Amino acid sequence: MGKFASGKRAIAISDRSGMQFPYTEMVKEWNGMWVHYSEFEIKQPQLDLAVIGPDGVALEHPRPPKRTTPKVAVMLPENPFTTYAAASSTIFVWSPNHGRNSSTTVRFRGAPQVSSITNKFSDCRSFDGITAAKLCRAAGYTITVGQYTTTTTTLNGGIDSTQTTGITLTDGSSFKTTGDLQPQVALIDSELIRYTTITDNVLGQVSPAATSINPHVVQRGAYGTTKAAHLTGATVRNLIDPTDWFYFTVDTDTATIGNKRGGGFPVSAGPVTLTP
């Protein structure tokens, strides 16, 4: 079989410029054109269209909307506990914007421990006759929203379980009232009624339910309590600042002085059992 000549003395005409060049200096481009190496151009990458598949629709790891969110502990401010009075077992807890309901169980914990397996948290600090072990007991405590007070009156007229207007107190002059952004509560039997103002001894004005036309609208069964009918003469107790406070009765211990803050830092409030 024959072979091609080397072309070392030959010339060639460029397909791009039409000029002549030494044959041995010619190269072929991606499009088949025979050009001098000084004229060579690589293929523009945009000329090769990328293969794009369909858009993804389903998630690989979906989280259904009805899933149960694990309950977690919430860090409390420094010295979050306050004793109510001397010889009393009532403990107030300062937990800004806690979002809790009455009759729920809350367990308090101190600083976490890295080395312990059986007890992962230290106890809170003792104060005013209340021992640390009782504050941070493993069973937790059933709480009531708000701050307990001795301010009481009676219901002036019975109410049914659906009534939200015309709830009248015998004397509401000592009950705390605030603006719409800081509601208060009245405790009747075991039901909490949320209000912000008292006009002529009538509870009222809880936005957005209340209006200028009818300001005497309250929220019945507030903070997880159950709406119920109440008889005239029923005791009504004022519980204040339910947004930021709740209270519980500590096991057996009583305060030595009362109105003392303590508990140390860090202190957290959460469920009895924490999910890993």
The predicted-structure confidence for 145-180, as pLDDT tens digits, reads as follows 999 999 999 999 999 999 988 899 999 999 998 765
Q: Beta 245-249 vs 90-94: how paired, if at all?
A: antiparallel
Q: Distance (Å, rounded) from C-alpha 139 to C-alpha 200?
A: 44
Q: Which of 214, 155, 140 is nearest to 189 (CA)?
A: 155
Measuring CA to CA, how many Å separate 245 from each of 102, 145, 213?
11, 6, 32
The predicted-structure confidence for 104-146, as pLDDT tens digits, reads as follows 999 999 988 776 555 588 888 999 999 999 999 999 999 999 9
State both tokens at 217: 């609208």
Percent over 90 (pLDDT), the chain: 66
Burial of 181 (0-12, 13-18, 19+ CB in 10 A): exposed
3-state secondary structure of 84: coil
The predicted-structure confidence for 14-60, as pLDDT tens digits, reads as follows 999 999 999 999 999 999 999 999 999 999 888 888 888 888 888 88
Measuring CA to CA, how many Å separate 141 from each of 124, 137, 241, 245, 248?
14, 8, 20, 15, 6
Give phi and psi for 93, each to the nearest 5.
Answer: -125, 125
